[in-house]
Amino acid sequence: MVFGAVVLFGAAYVTYVLWPRWPDSPVTLDAPTVPIVVSGTMFNIELAAIRMNVQRRLGTHERVDLSYIWPSLTPPDPAIKPTIGAPIDPNERLFVTIASGDTTLPLMERVQTIYPRSNAPHSAEIANKSMA
């Protein structure tokens, strides 16, 4: 009798856990902002600014990829799609990724690898100096 009760309880638990759940109704893109948590920090982000459809949900994320129109910093209009005749100008977009800082380089490695590249003279400046 006890064994039957344990088996019945186990079957009920497995059925409950594996029962398909339908996602909540999707949030529309014109919603003002949604709370999203990345690495323990909450951000209120416009849904139209989120680039990946899979990230357009409330809750905790490992990272969020955003896109804004430059220089107004407004989310792009989702109705405007790029076409062959009218591509989107990449200079008008600002792409931002919010992610946990666990994958960043240590300070000394950044100083030795990244910062010297930003301080190096550009090839156009070198060419102008050599022509003068």
DSSP state of 39: T
Q: Look at residue 116 and tell me whether its pLDDT is greater than 80.
A: no
Extents of the domains making up the chain: 27-131
Average pLDDT, the chain: 79
Q: Is the pLDDT confidence value at 41 over 80?
A: yes
Taking the CA of residue 73 as centre, how many other CA atoms within 13 Å lie in the half-sphere pointing to its CB?
2
pTM, 2 dp: 0.53
Please provide the distance, in angstroms rounded to a whole number, between the alpha carbons at the two ends of the chain.
Answer: 97
Identify which of 21-25, 59-63, 105-109, 125-129 has the greatest average pLDDT. Answer: 59-63
- What confidence score (pLDDT) does residue 52 get? 84
Task: Count other C-beta atoms under 10 Å from residue 50's C-beta.
Answer: 21
Distance CA 100, CA 61 (A): 10
Cis preceding-peptide flag for 20 (omega within 30 of 0): no
Backbone CA torsion sign across 11, 14, 20, 23: positive
Q: What is the pLDDT of residues 57-113, one digit of tens each?
A: 888 888 899 988 888 888 887 777 778 887 777 788 888 888 887 666 777 877 777
* pLDDT at res. 26: 61
Task: Evaluate if residue 48 carries a pLDDT over 80.
Answer: yes
Confidence of residue 117 (pLDDT cuts 50, 70, 90): low
What's the pLDDT at 127? 47
